[in-house]
Amino acid sequence: MPVEPSATRPDRSAPADRPELPARPESSGPSAPGADPAVRGPGRGLRGRGRGRVRGLRGLVPDAGAVAVAGALVAAAVVIGGAIEREHGTLRVHWPPYYAELEPHLGPGTPAALLVAAAVLGYGPALAARLPWRRLLAAAWGASMAWIWSLALVDGWHRGVENQLTSAYEYLQEVDRFGDVGAALRTFTDHILLHSPDNWVPHVAGHPPAAVLTFVGLDRVGLGGGPWASAWVITVGSSAAAAVLVALRALTGEELARRAAPFLVLAPTAVWVGVSADGYFTAVAAWALALLALSARTGERAIRAPRTAALGAGLLFGLTCYLSYGLTLCALLGLTVLALSRTLRPLPWVLAGVAAVAAVFTLAGFNWWEGYQLLTERYYQGAARIRPYSYWVWANLACAVTAVGPAVVAGTRRALVAGTAAGRRAAALLRERHAVGAPRSEGHRSRDRLAVLVLAALLTIAVADLSGMSKAETERIWLPFLTWLLPAAVLLPHRGARYWLAAQAATALAVNHLLLTGW
């Protein structure tokens, strides 16, 4: 399969914020090497620009087709899901496929959300290209936080923030039962099943104890209650934008990371980061992968303390596994990071960090494997018992494409094309033991690495989907995986980046104003 032209050739349109190149000497005649195509002969420059437009249109048509297919998937999930729920009531969501109600509304966060979107659209790409790296990380974190807060406040303070994590299903309902943390951990698995005495509320029963212990810890330091819990989730969750930037810079280079920054900020996933605990889980997993990517850098790009970074990555990976059972699938992303870095040197330190976290919880009395087995039983004691796998196995994907937005859908299509072409080149090299065709530039290799990372996230989502342990609510449950699809938008032509960015913001605003989400 041929690689898309826009994905294999450098973008010939210079960004508006790039310094102009010095004018070519007038003595450069039509035959001079490197002369401007516009002066090489009558009509040649115009023909070149025409060919560029044709190539751009050829890339745009399949991009638009991918978005159209995603839109059709969403429409089918809404129509078919609505019919199933009205007739049988087995989906257990009010407005399938989303855990939400159709309720168009405005709120105090509406003006703020529009202002943040306009500011990022107007200044985000230029600032991402020019800011010093550390300031860019801080700016991405801050802008992401502003975007998430404004979207959460569209539902109002009480509904969108204060009471979001205090419902009968949430972790805060069980904080008072952890007066003796040691005793609670030793008996944690005794209360997972529905028929067990004093069974945990759904979210506590459905996760390892690190999730609820986070909110217990906030309560112990005087930050108890819904508003502080929501503030914690949004503050930590929004840092995932900076974590992904760190990983992208280490794996693909600074240019692609900078171009990804605005898309990481204005992501529709922000609707569910504010406010669900899965936003907090997302950030922990993202920083684990970012530290792993840093620890795997070699040569001149190596950091000063790679072993410390690898150990930190392991500790965060371990915490991730004790925040949510399903996030063990992040190991697929971790292996991809090591494969792209072409080294296994961080692995012993990473495993040591994971083992340390596991040892702490095990010695405290919690058996992770026993907890997972009981969770599986509890899962099918509840709504999952009647939710049809035949619907959710594809309707989950409709939730996913909504959460990532149209730009990421189109970019993921390009990642599939680039990944297929890269696989064929690798196969040719293995067969012939030497490069076939012209060598690829560093920019093209960076795009290939980005495509591989995106495809790894896609594979992780596919495994989670086929497992049957993700029936509904995947718009929040899959946040730690969906976040790694967001950089796919960078694979789109640079010239139309602002239009795609506007589509991302419009998707988030539409979802938040048309649906009253459960989170």
- The string of pLDDT tens digits covering residues 297-330 is 988 889 999 999 999 999 999 999 999 999 999 9
Contact assessment for residue 232 and residue 279, using Cβ atoms and an 8 Å cutoff = no
Q: Which amino acid is at 178?
A: F
42 or 140, higher pLDDT: 140
- In eight-state DSSP terms, residue 415 is H
Q: 449-465, pLDDT tens digit by residue?
A: 999 999 999 999 999 99
Q: Does 97 sit behind a cis peptide bond, omega within 30 degrees of 0 on the bond before it?
A: yes
Contact assessment for residue 253 and residue 267, using Cβ atoms and an 8 Å cutoff = no
Residue 350 confidence (pLDDT) above 70: yes
| Cα-to-chain-centroid distance, residue 272 | 12
86-120 exposure pattern, b = at least 16 Cβ within 10 A, e = fewer: eeeeebbbebbbbbbeeeeeebebbebbeebbeeb
Mean pLDDT over each residue of the chain, to the nearest integer:
88
Give the 3-state secondary structure percentages of the chain, helix then strand then coil, rounded to 5: 70, 0, 25
Residue 404 confidence (pLDDT) above 60: yes
Residue 237 confidence (pLDDT) above 70: yes
Residue 296 confidence (pLDDT) above 80: yes
| Torsional sign, CA 127, 502, 240, 260 | negative
453-489 exposure pattern, b = at least 16 Cβ within 10 A, e = fewer: bbbbbbebbeebbeeebbbbbbbbbbbbbbbbbbbbb
Residue 13 confidence (pLDDT) above 60: no
Contact assessment for residue 307 and residue 295, using Cβ atoms and an 8 Å cutoff = yes
Contact assessment for residue 290 and residue 244, using Cβ atoms and an 8 Å cutoff = yes
What pTM was estimated for this model as a whole? 0.87
